[in-house]
């Protein structure tokens, strides 16, 4: 997981909380010490396909703009 401040991928999970089907984690960047949060969501195979298609579509649109 990349730090949104310095883009380092070295971080420690300091807290992990489960809310229904979601897992929220508090992370601390090993490089700059910033706190950031990640959210993990359980999805079905059908939803995964939908998200993958969305991500691909967005990626193609971004490439068109360049």
Query: What is the spatial distance between Cα 45 and Cα 20, in angstroms, rounded to a whole number?
Result: 19
Q: What is the size of the binding site for Zn ion (CB under 5 A)?
A: 8
Question: Which of 32/43 has CB closer to Zn ion?
Answer: 32
Segment 5 to 64, residues that bind Zn ion, using CB under 5 A:
5-6, 8, 29, 31-32, 34
Least distance in angstroms from the C-beta of 20 to Zn ion: 29
Least distance in angstroms from the C-beta of 41 to Zn ion: 24
């Amino acid at each position: 997981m990349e730090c949104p401040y310095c883009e380092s991928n070295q971080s420690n999970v300091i807290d992990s909380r489960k809310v229904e089907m979601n897992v929220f984690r508090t992370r601390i960047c090993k490089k700059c010490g910033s706190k950031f949060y990640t959210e993990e969501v359980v999805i079905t195979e059908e939803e995964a396909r939908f998200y993958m298609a969305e991500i691909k579509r967005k990626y193609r649109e971004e490439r068109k703009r360049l």
